[in-house]
Amino acid sequence: MNTFSSIANSLFQPSYTQNHMPIVLCDFDGTISVKDVTDTLLSHFGQDGCDELETLWLDGKIGSQECMSKQIALMDASLDELNDILSQIEIDPDFKSFIHYTEKNKIPVHVVSDGLDYAIEFILKHHGIKHLPIFANKLLHNHMRSWRLEFPYASKNCIKKSGNCKCNHVKKQQHFPQILYVGDGSSDFCVSHNVDFVFAKDKLVHYCEKNRIEHCTINSFANVTQALRQAQDSLIPVMIEKE
């Protein structure tokens, strides 16, 4: 019988005692990374049945947790083959500067993703970014060619039936004076209603406009850094102050 185990390192879990600054929560796929990582891996290693599962998810017949769990179980790849593809995935060229700025100014940043913890960790380290708190689905490997997922951040009350309930993560950050969110797609729709301000790309822009959610359209993390820099002398930036 195959035994599956986590291949991500023990990721840094922060503890904050002074919460005078906002916290920034960032989606990963399509926000930090240029490509959707799971889609990229499935395009290389997914076996028959992955496309049908994707269609069921797009049609709203299954949640993302069920879809991803079954798709990942259909992957056929060694760890070396997986790493080779992950090493080719680029990130927003301004993300490192953004992290440098937030670290210098003691602004916490969490990666909150419905993607794969090991993939996120590997890609960030490949680009020289370490010790960033990552909250994502746990990728398991049998050290041969089979893969599975576990969902440590799932919630039975999740409206989207996601593997990682981002709204639940927001609830745990209420001790911060302000919660800012950076995202781009459908996995960011629900959580956008529950934060103080959204930095939006792509599909999330239209969603925020349609639902009258306070947001700023961004092209890269350079825009987020600039907004934080302008707010350096205030807890709540003038540009995103609520009415």
Question: What residue ranges define each of the domains in the chain, with the CATH number in brackets?
Answer: 19-240 (3.40.50.1000)
Maximum Cα–Cα distance across the chain: 59
205-231 average pLDDT score: 96
Q: Tell me what the pLDDT averaged over the chain comes to.
A: 91
> What is the rounded distance in angstroms from the CA atom of residue 148 to the CA atom of residue 39?
16
Measured CA distances, 162 to 25, 125, 218 (Å): 17, 26, 25
Lowest mean pLDDT among 70-79, 121-130, 131-140, 155-164: 155-164
What is residue 7's predicted lDDT score, i.e. its pLDDT?
Answer: 84
- Is the predicted pLDDT of residue 20 greater than 90, yes or no? no
Percentage of the chain with pLDDT > 90? 81
Q: Residue 215 in 3-state DSSP?
A: strand
What is residue 54's predicted lDDT score, i.e. its pLDDT?
Answer: 94
209-235 average pLDDT score: 90
- Is the predicted pLDDT of residue 239 greater than 50, yes or no? no
- Is the predicted pLDDT of residue 24 greater than 50, yes or no? yes
Nearest CA to 46 out of 24, 63, 16, 68 is that of 68
- Is the predicted pLDDT of residue 238 greater than 60, yes or no? no
Nearest CA to 4 out of 141, 119, 117 is that of 141
What is residue 27's predicted lDDT score, i.e. its pLDDT?
Answer: 98
pLDDT tens figures, 164-185: 999 999 999 999 999 999 999 9
CA R_g for the chain:
18
Cβ count within 10 A of residue 77: 19
233: pLDDT confidence band, cut at 50, 70 and 90?
A: low
